[in-house]
Amino acid sequence: MPKEHSCTEPGCGKKFLRAEHLSRHRLNHQPKQIFQCAACPKRFVRKDLLRRHERRHEKGMWFRNSGGVVAEGDNDTASLLHDSTSYTQESPQRALESTAMFTDREQEDDVRMSDESVKMLPYEQEPAETYGEQGPTQTYGEQEPTETYGQMDEIENMQVNNTDFLPALPDQEVTSLFFDPSITIPDPALDFEWLFDNLSADLNNPGGMPSVVSPQSSVSLPGISPPAFGAVQSPVRIRHSISSQSSGSSPWAEVRTNLLKALNSLTQDVLMSSFFYPNNLAGFWDLYFENYHPHFPILHKPTLDPVSASPLQVAAIVTLGSTLSGDAGHFDVANKIHDSLRYIIFGTPDFDPPASLWCVQTLLIIQAHEKMFSTRKHHQLAHIFHGAIITLMKRGVAYQHTTHAPGSTATERSWHQWVEIQASNRTAFFGFVMDAQHTFMFGHTCILSVHDVRLPLPCADVLWECSRPEEWDRMMRKTPESPGFLPVLKRLLARTPIPPHCSAFSRLILLHGLFSVTAHLKARDSVTLGVGRGGPSTANSPRLDAIDTWKETVERAMDIWSFSLVSRSSSLALEASRPLHRMAYAAIYTDINDIHILAGAPSLLGSMLSATDRMRATARVRAWSQSHDSKKALYHCLLLIQETIFTGQLYSAASDNIALRPWSIYHAALILWAYGAMARERSNPQHEQQRISYSAEEYLVRMLMLLRNESDQVDVIAQETSELLLAVRESLEGCRWELLQEAWETLGRLIK
C-alpha cells in the first residue's frame, strides 16, 4: 500500500498519494498569492490553474456550479463537461455562457508573465481524472483509495474557499454586470494599448481581412469622407390613439391600483391626475415599446406583464412613454413623478446590493428620461447619480431562477433563465452606451471603459422577440452565436467589417465603443500633453505607434462601421445611429464644452464660469479653428444638418422619436458657428463690406464643395452662418425638453 500524505489542517483530513499534491492542496488553506479570473468571479491559488480555467472561457464555458456548458459542436465536449458538475441535458447550450468572455488582453498578460511567477508542476503531471454520474474520482492505475471532492474539483480548480478572499454569494443567483477594476488596475497610460496591437499586421494580412471599400471613402479627398449610402428616413414620431379599453374590466385598472399604492407618497393632485387613467397608462405603455424600446431593448416584452411587474418599473416605462403623448399636462405630471421616483426605489429592499435586475433596469430608464426629456434639474441629478448606478451594477444583480412555477417544463425553465441573463447583458450595455454617449453630448466624464464590458454582444432580434419557449428553443438551434464585444471592437479598429449576423442594437453598441475609446484617448492626451510618448521608455512597445495616431485609426473604424447604415430593413436603432455616427466623427476633433462656453450657452455641467474660463476656452477654440482637424469636424456637421433638415420634408424636433437627433443638430450648428466666428476674427476688416449673405442650403452646398476641394475660400463662406442657425432654430421650435428650449434661445442670441 503506497504511503498516504494527509492534510493536517483542522477539519480537512484529505489524503494524497504524492507529497507535491499535498503541497498544492495546502495552498487552499494558506494561499501565497490569489489569482483573479478577469471574466468571472472565480479566484485561484495557482497561476497555471487560472490559465487552464481561462482557456475554457475561450471555448465558451462559464464557471463551475453555474450550469455553464461548452458551445455546440465542440469536439472536446466529453473531456470538458467536468467544468460544470451541474450540467444537465435540459440546460440551453448557450444560456449561461454569455455572462462573461475571455479577451485578448488576458492572453497578452499570459505571454508577458515572467519566470518569477510561482513555480508549480504543470497540470499535465496531475493524476488523470475520470468523471461518472456520481461526480469526480481519481484513479492511479492500481487499487488506490478514492478521493472525494464533492461539487468542486479541488486538484484542478483550487478555488479559494476562505471568505476573506471570496464573498459567499451563490454563483447561480448573483453576477456582476461589469468587470470590477478594483482587482487589477492597469496602467492608465497604456490601458488602451492592446486595442491597437497588430493593426498594421491585420491590415497587411490578405487572409485576415477581406478587402473593403467604405461608402464613406468614394470621394478622393484626403482626410474628409463623403456621406454614407442609404436614404435617411423621415424622423416622424409614431403616435397612437389612446386605448379605449373599459377602465372597469381592463387589466390596466389593476395596474393603476398598483401604481397608486407604490407612489402613495406623491401629492394628491398628481395621484388624482388623468395620467393614471387605465386607458392613458395603456397608451403610454404602447408608446414606450414602439418608440423607445427599439433604441435600447433591455426589457423582454413577451414575458413582461404590467400587472405582475414591479409598479415602480411600470412607472418608469409609462412616464417615458408619456413624453410622446400629445397632452402637455401628462408630460408635466411625468416630471412631477420623477421628482420622487428615484428616491422611492432607493428605499426598496431590492435596491440593496446585489440589486434585483428590475431595479437596475428601472434606474437606467429613469436616467434616460431625465437626461434627455425632462428639466435641467432632472438632467443634472441624473448625471450625479450615474456613477452610483454604475457602482451598483458592478456590485452585481440578483437573478430569480427559483421563482418559476413547479410545473414548468425544462424548456420553459431554460428559456426564463436565458431571458434573465440576456436581459442583464443588455442592461449592462445600455449603461455603457449612455456613459459613452453623454461624454460628448453633454460633456460628462466617462466612468466606464471598454475593458469593463467583457460580454458577448446581444443576441439576434428574432431570438429576443420569441414569445414562446418552443419558438425560442427552435430559433436557438439555428441562430448564430453572438460574438464578443471586445474582439469585434478590436477587429473594427483593424478595419475588419462587423459580422453580418450582429443585430442593430449590437451595431449601436459598437458605435458607442468607438465613442468610449475616443473619450478615453482624448483624456489621456489631455493629461499627458504628449510627454514621455515616443521616448526611450516606450521604445519596446511597438503598439504605441498605432495608439499615437489613434484619431486616424478610430476614424477609419467609423468608416467601416458606416456599412451598418446600408440596410434593406428599417431599424429604429440604426436610425438613431445616423446622427450619432456623425457626432462620433466630430467628437474626435472637437471639445463641445469649449464651444458651449464660447457661444455663451448655459453650462452643460451646471457650473459657474469665470472670465478666465471663458478666455481659456476661446483660446482653445481659436487654436482648433486653425488646425486641419477642424475641417473634418465641419464636414460631418454639415452632412448631419443636410441629412436631417434639408431632405425635402419639414423636420420638427418636437415630433422626433430619436431622442438625441435634435441635440446633435444643435451641436453641429454650434460647431459651424464657432468656426465661422473664429474665421471672421481672422478676416481682413476691409472685406467686411464685400460679404455676401447665403441661404442655409447655399451655405451647406458651398461649404461641402470647398471642404472637398480643400479650398482656401472656406473661411470666407464659413462666416455666413446666420441663415443656417435660423433654420436649425426653427426646427427646434416647441420642444418640451428644457435643454432644447435653452438651445433654441442660444441660437437666437447667436443670430442677433
Give the tens place of pLDDT for each residue, 408-431: 788 998 999 999 999 999 999 999
Give the pLDDT mean for 558-573. Answer: 88
| Mean of per-residue pLDDT scores for the chain | 76
Cell of 263: 407612489
- Segment 374-377 long-range contacts (CB within 8 Å, at least 24 positions apart): 374/334, 374/335, 374/338, 374/737, 374/738, 375/335, 375/738, 376/602, 376/606, 376/738, 376/739, 376/742
Q: Which residues contact 718 (CB under 8 A, 6 or more apart)?
A: 634, 672, 675, 676, 679, 703
Which region among 20-24, 463-467, 585-589, 711-715 has the lowest average model confidence (pLDDT)?
Answer: 20-24
**Count of CB atoms within 10 A of residue 248's CB?**
7
DSSP 464-520: HT--SHHHHHHHHHHSPPPPBHHHHHHHHHTTPPPPTT--HHHHHHHHHHHHHHHHH
Cis amide leading into 136 (omega within 30): no
Helix (H, G, I), strand (E, B) or coil at 43: strand
In 176-304, DSSP assigns E strands to: none
If you count them, how many residues does the chain have? 752
pLDDT recorded at residue 7: 86
Give the angle 543-178-417 at the CA atoms, nearest 5°.
130
Reported as type and span, the H/E element at residue 315 is helix 311-322
Cell of 39: 471574466
pTM of structure: 0.73
Are 192 and 547 in contact by the 8 Å Cβ rule? The answer is yes
Q: Give phi and psi for 112, each to the nearest 5.
A: -80, -5
User: Using only C-alpha atoms, what is the Rg of the chain?
Assistant: 29
Whole-Å CA distances, 468 to 92, 285, 304, 686: 15, 21, 13, 74
pLDDT recorded at residue 178: 77
Amino acid type, 147: E
Among 288, 196, 280, 220, smallest CA distance to 557 is for: 196
Number of Cα atoms under 13 Å in the Cβ half of residue 87 = 24
Given the C-alpha cell 503506497, which residue does it identify?
Answer: 2
Among 32, 97, 29, smallest CA distance to 68 is for: 97
Give the tens place of pLDDT for each residue, 270-314: 999 999 999 999 999 999 999 999 989 999 999 999 999 999 999
The span from the first CA to the last CA of the chain, in angstroms, equals 99
Which region among 124-138, 356-370, 397-411, 573-587 has the lowest average model confidence (pLDDT)?
Answer: 124-138
pLDDT recorded at residue 309: 95
Q: In what order do the strands lie in the sheet with 397-398?
A: 174-175, 397-398, 355-356
Checking phi first, is residue 63 left (phi over 0); if not, alpha (psi -120 to 50) or beta? beta
Cell of 305: 406583464
Q: What is the DSSP letter of 409?
A: -
